[in-house]
Structure 1
């Protein structure tokens, strides 16, 4: 477990050194009313905030020694010399106390982040590298380094119906979102094995999220829902089936082009208590596409598509110069390429968590 990062040591010394030098020069060269005492006193304060405890002690000792030596050399009375020494020494002690408090705060923050990361890994484990005929890769990037827990989710599972996948986004943040993520993934793990169709799987996930909201005393509303894309790739064909419940559509990358797979029939998100329709509509609710052996399926959350550059323009994978025309060794390379491209586009200032799930059929040497 790493502590919270402190400013680099060179930055602290870059401020401490000039403060000491200028303090000495002012004492020696400035007219009588002006003295370098404030700068000599500032040096230990800067060191306490930006350097290690030992460096802070060293700077405080040096500042006290310089002040005393200059006062003696300039013939100042002992009382003035003692006062100057006491002022710098007191500020040095206070700076060291601040240093200890910052170290403790850093350890507490690091511990909290470690716990958050552990919870995130338990709730949202990495998918398997291979599932049935597919090679799988996933990535999760929080909007802020300090906020490791979010509402994005993904899951991949082999079932009797083929490989089934889910990527989604729970509305909200923090522990409430994590609880909904846990319910959604748990329901997917259970029901993906048993639901005969993707549309039926969506109904069961919708029921599970509604029951969880009722148990927690939250009535279903337009403020409590989960957007999701459910996908299914049978083992024996190049077919891809999708059910989109209010989520950004996935993309197929092939022959240097990127195509978004939009839903033919818009559907409401999960957890709103409004199912997609009767079981007789399952075929109409499910879109069927082709997933050739050399194609990549890119599934994302809205943290990708809602990332904006300085001009306020949203990121679009279909027009990305880093993705169009490119070939990738494996899905993992595409995950890293999309993550890096979004960070370049938004200046590393994206406002939402990003989850990325990429799959491809095994056996291809190059994809896209």
Structure 2
């Protein structure tokens, strides 16, 4: 018959056979005729909510046979019997037509979502699992259900200056935010190979966002406003990490089970504000990175996640309580901790990048 589909949800798959049996019983045992016809007629419509098209068609056929059988058992005239069967089959055919339309639209939507996810992942491809001395893990949970990415971004690549990474957050959501993400990631890929310092790298992204924003102003794919960004550089030896923060949540350094927030000593403005630097030349800060240390980069979807009481999620607590050292395990544990903290509510895009130095 074709089993119940995944969408049986609110309609139990037992409802169609119960309607079929109820229709026959009502038609046969009720004091007045035709009591069971409405139940028989809606059997295939209800089946369409929780069974495949083939299963719904079999229920429609069964309803027609049941209508004929119950009319014959009640001794109705041939014309009455034919009218009963025709009425049931007509409603059943309408139900099957609706089922066919819904299934076709569902297939079209599934195809569109697959293409959209592939396109979005082309904008924000996953970084390699191992780069130089680092193990890398990334996770992305978009606030908009059905989307692979939103307004958060990250990228990582080996360059002549070492391993460079960026994580950022575009103001706004939707397609304009994704458009800004594509500009920022593309600019990073190019500039990371040539900019001698993180300061120059940030300036090149700043100018690229400004240029693209001016070019697209007023169009449907207008680039959103400012972008917070955190730039990271790790030499091939992996023994240090240099950080430049442009208005983004600071990274966390996990060392011997203790998580430390690397707050910037000279906070800077985000990219593409048009206001330049807040303190003159932005300050790049360098920290030691010991074997088995993990650097965790997050967006505000993590740091500003709230529980039902309105309390913010404590990233340091989440990392310490995980008790893990592998990059992929840390990433999974942090996403799980945030999800449990918020009760599964997607309050904002959530992105994180974990860089773990090998032993």
- TM-score past 0.5 threshold: yes
Please give the secondary structure, in 1, of the residue aligned with 2:232. Answer: strand
1:27–1:36 CA contact under 8 A, matched in 2: yes
CA distance in 1, matches of 2:50, 2:118: 29
Alignment pair present for 1:333 and 2:315? no
Distance change in 2, residues 1:258/1:124 (3 Å): same
CA offsets, 1:22-58, max 9 Å, x none?
Answer: 2233333444278122222221001123321111110
Give the 3-state SS of the residue equivalent to 1:315 in structure 2.
coil
User: How far, CA to CA, are the matches of 2:81 and 2:300 in structure 1?
Assistant: 64
The separation in 2 between residues aligned to 1:192 and 1:156, in whole angstroms, is 9
CA–CA distance in structure 2, aligned partners of residues 244 and 149 of structure 1: 23
Secondary structure in 1 matching 2:169: strand
Q: 1:310 to 1:41 in 2, by over 3 A?
A: farther
Secondary structure, counterpart of 2:347 in structure 1: coil
Aligned partner (choices 359, 362, 365) of residue 358 of structure 2 = 362
1:366 counterpart residue number: none
- Give distance in 1, aligned partners of 2:309 and 2:27: 51
Query: How many angstroms apart in 1 are the aligned matches of 2:300 and 2:260?
Result: 17
Structure 2-normalised TM-score? 0.89
Shift of 1:61: 0.6
Match of 2:171?
A: 171
Equivalent-residue separation in structure 1 for 2:206 and 2:218 (angstroms): 15
Give unmatched runs, 5+ long, in structure 2: none
Give per-residue Cα distances to partners, 1:319-354, cap 9 Å, x unaligned: 33xx42433352111111122222223333213222
Q: Is there any run of 5+ residues in structure 1 with no aligned partner, and where?
A: 364-368
Q: TM-score, normalised by structure 1?
A: 0.87
Tell me, yes or no, if structure 1 residue 256 matches structure 2 residue 257.
Answer: yes
CA distance in 2, matches of 1:313, 1:30: 61
Post-superposition Cα deviations, 1:228-260, rounded to whole Å, max 9, x if no partner, equal 111112234632221222222221222323222
Matches within 5 A, 1:259-338: 259-276=260-277, 281-282=281-282, 285-320=283-318, 323-338=319-334
Alpha-carbon separation, structure 2, partners of 1:98 and 1:297 = 54
Aligned length: 353
Secondary structure at 1:108 match in 2: helix
CA contact (8 A) 1:249 1:260 kept: yes
Contact 1:239 1:289 in 2 (8 A): yes
Aligned counterparts of 1:265 and 1:152: Cα–Cα separation in 2 = 23
Cα distance change of structure 1 residues 306 and 17 upon mapping to structure 2, 3 Å threshold: farther
Classify the secondary structure of the residue corresponding to 1:309: coil
- Name the SS for the 2:42 alignment partner: helix
